[in-house]
């Protein structure tokens, strides 16, 4: 049936539903939000494009509609306001997600949760904890957007199609993320091999590019108030991998069970994603510096989730 229920119709949610419609993903797309008037307007607006795309049902949903959904995507939540800490944000968003997940679970939903609400790694762990769902069925958007940003930045610098740039950002979707340069390649050439024969990229450039990628959200938020198109397309990519049982390798927020030496924590890592959710976590053989960065990123996430979630 390929039924998707979206919960949260703000900038990210509405951009995601638009991505689903334009890419032909999901035969049913139901939208839930406390602002029912806006949902009604968006549904009508989206329906007006269906004649050029193909048959699809787009509608204003209720939590009862989650009962037989394949995927429930949660983008609802508060943004971080000026003067607020990340812990303040977690406190607010755990309360919001707690009520949402309760309503979804009450419907009898047994599909895949896809979480985009920030801080996404902490909240993906939280949803798994309060639902009791198996690890493979609760997935976060993780570093999928950060990876896309990095590939695009490298592609621009190298004048290469970013789809042919193979590099991943791992760790927290936040300030402690890091690129895995040790396994980066362009068209089959290792990144360092490429640098030797292409003078338009240097080792020093890599640090600048990584910093720009990490800070991209701040620049966009300063310019227009929020980031939503990039994450919407990233969510649509994960959705496609699930609905079409692709076994696609994607950098998503996954529940570690010994990988990288940690467990009971979610972090952005490459994983095989298919109809069952996360089929397999791919543990990169990181070099010493990257492993240090990964440990720092995981410990940062664990501190946040311990202060808020584990003490509920």
Topology adopted by domain 3-140: Rossmann fold (3.40.50)
Instruction: Count the helices and strands in the chain (H runs, E runs).
Output: 10, 14
User: Where do the CATH 3.90.110.10 domains begin and end in the chain?
Assistant: 144-308
Rounded Cα gap, residues 270 and 250, in angstroms: 5
Residue 162 is predicted with a pLDDT of 95
What does the alpha-carbon distance between residue 135 and residue 129 come to, in Å, rounded to a whole number?
A: 9
Model pLDDT, residue 310: 55
Q: In terms of pTM, does the model score above 0.75?
A: yes
At 88 the pLDDT is 80
Choose among 8, 140, 138, 142: nearest CA to 79.
8
pLDDT of residue 219: 87
**Residues known to be catalytic:** 173
Q: Go through 61-99 and write b for each residue having 16 or more CB atoms within 10 A of its CB, e for each that does not.
A: bebebbeebbbbbbbbbbebeeeeebeebbebbbebbee
Average pLDDT, the chain: 93
The β-bridge relationship of strands 185-186 and 263-274 is: unpaired
User: Which helix H or strand E contains 231, and what residues bound it?
Assistant: helix 229-243
**For domain 144-308, which architecture applies?**
Alpha-Beta Complex (3.90)
* pLDDT tens digits for range 112-163: 999 999 999 999 999 999 999 999 999 999 999 999 999 999 999 999 999 9
Per the structure block, which two tokens stand in for 95?
A: 């309360």
Q: What confidence score (pLDDT) does residue 54 get? A: 82
pLDDT band at 209 (very low <50, low <70, confident <90, very high): very high
- Identify the sign of the CA torsion 192, 194, 197, 203: negative
Q: Percent of the chain having pLDDT more than 70?
A: 96
Least confident of 18-32, 171-185, 204-218: 204-218
Q: Residue 101: CB partners within 8 Å, gap ≥ 6? A: 74, 113, 127, 130, 131
Where in the chain do CATH 3.40.50.720 domains reside?
3-140
Q: Quick one: pLDDT at residue 253?
A: 98
Check pLDDT > 70 for residue 312: no
- What percent of the chain lies above the pLDDT cut of 90? 80
């Amino acid at each position: 049936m390929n039924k998707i229920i979206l919960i949260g119709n703000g900038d990210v949610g509405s951009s995601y539903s638009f991505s689903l419609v334009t890419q032909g993903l999901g035969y049913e797309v139901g939208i839930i939000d406390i602002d029912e008037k806006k949902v009604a307007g968006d549904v009508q607006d989206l329906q007006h494009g269906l004649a050029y795309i193909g048959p699809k049902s787009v509608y204003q949903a209720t939590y009862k509609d989650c009962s037989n959904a394949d995927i429930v995507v949660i983008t609802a939540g508060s943004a971080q306001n000026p003067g607020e800490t990340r812990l303040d944000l977690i406190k607010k968003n755990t309360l919001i997600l707690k009520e949402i997940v309760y309503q979804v679970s009450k419907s009898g939903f047994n599909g895949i949760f896809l979480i985009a609400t920030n801080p996404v790694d902490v909240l993906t762990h939280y949803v798994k904890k309060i639902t009791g769902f198996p690890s493979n069925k609760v997935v976060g958007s993780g570093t999928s957007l950060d990876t896309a940003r990095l590939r695009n930045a490298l592609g621009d610098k190298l004048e290469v199609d970013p789809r042919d740039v193979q590099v991943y950002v791992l760790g927290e979707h936040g300030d402690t993320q890091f690129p895995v340069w040790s396994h980066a390649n362009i068209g089959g050439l290792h990144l360092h091999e490429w640098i030797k024969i292409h003078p338009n990229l240097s080792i020093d450039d890599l640090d600048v590019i990584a910093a720009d990628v990490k800070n991209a959200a701040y620049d966009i938020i300063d310019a227009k108030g929020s980031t939503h198109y990039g994450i919407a397309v990233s969510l649509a990519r994960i959705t496609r991998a699930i609905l079409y049982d692709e076994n696609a390798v994607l950098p998503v927020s996954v529940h570690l069970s010994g990988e990288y030496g940690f467990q009971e924590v979610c972090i952005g890592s490459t994983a095989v994603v298919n109809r069952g959710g996360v089929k397999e976590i791919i543990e990169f053989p990181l070099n010493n510096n990257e492993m240090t960065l990964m440990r720092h990123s995981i410990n940062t996430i664990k501190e946040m989730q311990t202060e808020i979630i584990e003490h509920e």
